[in-house]
Structure 1
Amino acid sequence: MVRTLPSRRHLARALTLMPLVALGACKPAADVAPPSRPTLSLKSGSTPTATTPSGAKVEPAVYSAPTPGSPGALMSLAPLVDTVKGAVVNVEVQARARPAMGGMMQGLPPGLAERFGMQGGQNPFGEGGGAPAKQGLGSGFIVDPSGLVITNNHVVEGADTVRVKLEDGRAFDAEVLGRDSLTDVALIQLKGVSGKLPFVKLGDSDGLRVGDPVMAIGNPFGLASSVSAGILSARARDIHAGPYDDFLQTDAAINPGNSGGPLFNMKGEVVGMNTAIIGGATGIGFAVPANLIQALLPQLQETGVVRRGWVGLAVQDLTPELARALRVDAAKGAVVAGVSAGGPGEKAGLREEDIITSVGERAVDSAGALTRAVALLKPGSEVKVSLVRGGKAMEVPVKLGTRPTQRGEEEMTPRDATPAPLSKRLGLRLSEAQDGSGGAQVVAVESGSAAERAGLMPGMVLTQVGDQKVSGVAEAAQALTSAEPGSALLLRARVPGQDGALLRAIEVPQR
């Protein structure tokens, strides 16, 4: 059960996430290529393109509400509930054991951990670290008729089995396709789906205004298809759950088991995913914005993990006092307090005391806004950074790197894209390079294998195999697997974030 605290004096003191169990990391089996899956096109306010096996077009459930004040104007939410409830699912997970901390609870600052009453890694939900966990409950929603479901990372993290139940009584086993612990978003695929399933579309969360009505459907305390309604209470809430906090706040009743469930607008579009609550409080719940989920979906579906842009700066909010001390007229922005040696920011010429006001087309009014703006950009891409330096406005082009995993964060491994013969023959697993500049990235090297003897290490990116330049896994795998047994292949590789190339030679084993 979720532990709640009696005091409501401070947000951080009472913040509680909502899983009934906390689960650990779940990794795909090695040497198993992922099955082909439908590709989503989920742009804000648009309808996903989907067809049934017969080729018939399938439309999502969308409710057209009458104009307020007009004849037949909405007096009850019942028609809206009837339209969308079939796409809201119950997520049941089972695991052998639970770690001390999971999902967005990882890496909490010591002060916040103390406010939870945690000592030595104690689980914030009332159980000790490493306590056995048999079952957990959560919610989710279908976004494609083939059975793609969005839910919370903390609902499915570390699950040995995942089973999803629909409102109409049908049940399916499910596979976790991808997870992002930093935003608590996960994507799962139902297995054995025949025909079409009801689904809903993601709406534009940026279009919501404080005071707009919203509705939540989920599985609180195992009470399936429970409906609650309220308004959007606030936007852009930072609840200290992670580096990319940008939560929607609502007074619609959210309880343990609602995790991963949808928050609807009055058109039946999902504008948020219910994720966190305030312990000991009533009417204060938080949801991940739909636009953030939309930005993560392509990577979660393609590789199972999210790679983010990185500048390599330590920043803080520009306050009126800092503005006066720096003798600038800027009212909002992010002040550079430190620059990582050798990072993208240093290479681009960014300096301490620069005041960053925008990244690309996104305005930056705080340190958090800068962090979120950069994280949504693709590693390896170039972006213009607008800043104020010494009272003068200027623009600096920056080529983004890949954000490294921070201390206390879960190390996420992309789904294996390596053909089984390559992994077995050479002891090498590859994925598409995550820095956006092409090549096949080494994600695992088997001990004692030909790959290890060649000096290959995880993180290296192969750009040439033999005489062939390679731009991805398919080309690298073809060149490696077609090599003559007993031959030696020249490999050219690079290490992200470092200059120059490395040369390696791999001896191809006899068959």
Structure 2
Amino acid sequence: MTDGWDWRRGGETPAPASPPGAGVPPAGPPTTPGSDTAPTAAVGASPWWSDALGDPWRDPAAPAAVVVPGVVAVGTEPEPVTDPDAPGRPTLRHLLLIPVITALLAGTLGGALGYAFAVRGGAAGTVLGAPAVDPPALAQRKPESLAGVAERVLPSVVTVRVSSLGGISEGSGFIASADGHVITNDHVVAGGSGKASVIFNDGTAAPATVVGQDPESDIAVIKVNRTGLRPVEFGDSEALAVGDPVLAVGSPLSLANTVTAGIVSALDRTMQAGEPGGPVRYYAAIQTDAAVNHGNSGGPLVDGAGRVVGVNSTIKSLVADGQEAGNIGLAFAIPINQAKRVTQDIIGTGKARRTVIGAQVGGPGAGANGGVRLAAVEPSGPAAGAGLKVGDVILKLNGRPMTEPTDLIALVRKFAPGSVVTVEFRRGAARQNTSVTLAADAK
């Protein structure tokens, strides 16, 4: 313990300690007792802790280390280091980018609001189209729609090509059985070599052979050797009514997979057709206004359910003989009940049976009531068995009026052999009725 005096020198005042290093000026002069002025520190004096060694209250035995910062020479200062994570002052680019983005956002929002208000207020430009609504039922192509019917029938319709001395005859046809039988018109394959080719709905082709023909009914059957075929569905031509919708499908003017629509315009329309020098064809046709042209021959006429009810065969035209005819809305098809029966005969026996009444007609009946007069009656034929005689005038057959001799021939051939029909006739002034069982021709 000490009283503050240096015990080593006994009362002497120790000299002020100088800090390590040169260049530190000495302390100022001591003050005089009783002076009015306080001592002033010399300029450039060292910090107070630089006099720690001269502290009178310091323990002289305690170690001491005093560090005095050195003088840094000019031009040797260390390079300043910036903290990358420290927030810095925004640059000019940042200051300009903020208002630009703000202006863009404000403009976009303002434009959208302005357009919405303008549309609501009717000030916008012309708006094209009506608001979206559910499509009508017809546009949904239900199976019973015309588009749905066409989609089902088209895979079963083919184009038929036959080579002959006069060139290539082209028409239409449809698949009647899964084993490859195709129904077409006789006049499509007539004059050919018995060989044909069939082009299917998907564009593929296959050779075909003629199974048989019936010139008088204008039906022919050809066969193609191909598996996986899809036959048509047959309808009932006797169930048709005038006004029923129908579709004609085929290859008119070589335009394959063509579908046209129309209605049944008339039933049991007598058709007498044939080429010069060839057989005369009689049939009670289905008349339709569906567009039918050259190349449609042999194609199917289908009802609203997609069932085949006829075989498109002929058209009426205003052009002279030998000129190219076109559609004028008068097309005729062979009833499918007749065509189906003839097809079955051809496939089974190679030829078709012809239905007859056992009488010959000699001309129209006299009088306002019309009818056709019987010119000859076979003794053992169906007419004779029903009591009909020469000179009787046939007025109606199954309720169908007779006005021309061809009417009776065509209508009789519509029915299958063995069918029973009612006949209304006039003998003299009396009207009578009888039933006739039709038969097949002996030849």
Q: Calculate the TM-score normalised by the size of structure 1.
A: 0.49
Give the Å deviation of 1:189. 1.3
* Deviation, structure 1 residue 205: 1.9
Structure 1 Cα separation of the partners of residues 367 and 243 of structure 2? 30
Alignment pair present for 1:152 and 2:185: yes
- 1:274 maps to amino acid: N
Give the AA of the match of 1:287: A
How far 1:399 moved relative to its partner? 8.2
Matched residue type, 1:393: Q
> Which of 269, 286, 302 pairs up with 2:332?
286
Instruction: Return the letter of the residue paired with 1:259.
Output: S
- Contact 2:314–2:333 (CA<8 Å) still a contact in 1? yes
Aligned counterpart in structure 1 of residue 309 of structure 2, from 271, 275, 284: 271
- Matched residue type, 1:91: V
The number of equivalent residue pairs is 288
* Paired residue type of 1:156: V
- Structure 1 CA distance, aligned partners of 2:158 and 2:377? 46
Q: Once the two structures are aligned, what percentage of the paired residues are identical?
A: 37
Q: What is the match of residue 174 of structure 1?
A: 208
- Residue 154 of structure 1 deviates from its aligned partner by 0.6
Structure-2 change in CA distance of 1:352 and 1:243 (3 Å): farther
The answer to whether the 8 Å contact 1:274/1:285 transfers is: yes
Deviations 1:43-93 (A, max 9, x none): xxxxxxxxxxxxxxxxxxxxxxxxx99x98679633222211100001111
Q: What residue in structure 1 maps to residue 168 of structure 2?
A: 135
Residues 392, 234 of structure 1: CA spacing in aligned structure 2 closer, same or farther, 3 A cutoff? closer
The aligned residue for residue 323 of structure 2 is none
Long gaps (5+) in structure 2 = 1-136, 274-279, 320-326
- Where structure 1 has 5 or more consecutive residues not aligned to the other structure, the ranges are 1-67, 98-132, 322-330, 403-434, 436-458, 460-511
* Pairing partner for 1:88 from 157, 167, 179: 157
- Matched to 1:353, the amino acid is G
Matched, 1:213 2:249: no
Q: Deviations over 1:209-229 (max 9, x none)?
A: 222221122112222111211
Match of 1:365 among 392, 396, 401: 401
* 1:367-401 deviation line (CA, Å, top 9, x unaligned): 44532454356779998866543426364877857
User: What is the CA deviation profile of residues 257-279 of structure 1, one whole-angstrom value per residue up to 9, with x for unaligned ones?
Assistant: 11111111121111111111223
Q: Give 3-state SS (helix, strand or coil) of 2:167's partner.
A: coil
CA contact (8 A) 1:175 1:189 kept: yes
CA shift at 1:163, angstroms?
A: 0.8
Which residue in the other structure is 2:100 paired with? Answer: none
Contact 2:270 2:410 in 1 (8 A): no
Find the residue that maps to 1:155 and give its secondary structure.
helix
| Residues 92 and 136 in structure 1, CA contact (< 8 A), matched pair in contact too | yes
Distance change in 2, residues 1:218/1:350 (3 Å): same
Q: Give, in angstroms, the shift of residue 156 of structure 1.
A: 0.9
Summarize deviations over 1:322-356 as a string: whole Å, max 9, x none.
Answer: xxxxxxxxx57543234468877568764222234
Deviations 1:10-42 (A, max 9, x none): xxxxxxxxxxxxxxxxxxxxxxxxxxxxxxxxx
**What corresponds to 1:111 in structure 2?**
none
The structure with the larger Rg is: 2
Q: Which residue of 2 aligns with 1:393?
A: 432
Q: One-letter code of the match for 1:293?
A: A
Does the aligned pair in 2 maintain the 1:262–1:274 contact within 8 Å? yes
Match of 1:125 in 2: none
Are 1:364 and 1:370, in contact at CA under 8 Å, matched by a contact in 2? Answer: no
Q: What is the DSSP-based 3-state SS (H/G/I as helix, E as strand, rest coil) of the residue aligned with 1:228?
A: strand
- d(CA) in 1 for partners of 2:436 and 2:147? 52
Q: Alpha carbon RMSD of aligned pairs, Å?
A: 3.5
Q: Do residues 188 (structure 1) and 222 (structure 2) align?
A: yes
1:313 aligns with 2:356: no
Distance (whole Å) between structure 1 residues aligned to residue 439 and residue 308 of structure 2: 31
The answer to whether the aligner puts 1:257 opposite 2:304 as a matched pair is: no
| Larger RCO: 1 or 2 (CA < 8 Å, sep 6+) | 1
Distance in structure 1 (CA, Å) of the matches to 2:197 and 2:265? 33
> Which residue identity lines up with residue 263 of structure 2 in the other structure?
I
- How far 1:155 sits from its partner (Å)? 0.6
TM-score by length of 2: 0.56
Q: Structure 1 residues 234, 358: CA separation in 2 closer, same or farther (over 3 Å shift)?
A: closer
Structure 1 residues 309, 85: closer, same or farther in 2, change over 3 A? closer
CA contact (8 A) 1:295 1:376 kept: no
Change (3 A) 1:319 1:296: farther
Question: Could you say if the C-alpha distance between residues 213 and 380 of structure 1 is closer, same or farther in structure 2, counting changes exceeding 3 Å?
Answer: closer
Report the secondary structure of 1:245's partner residue: strand
Contact 1:308 1:376 in 2 (8 A): no
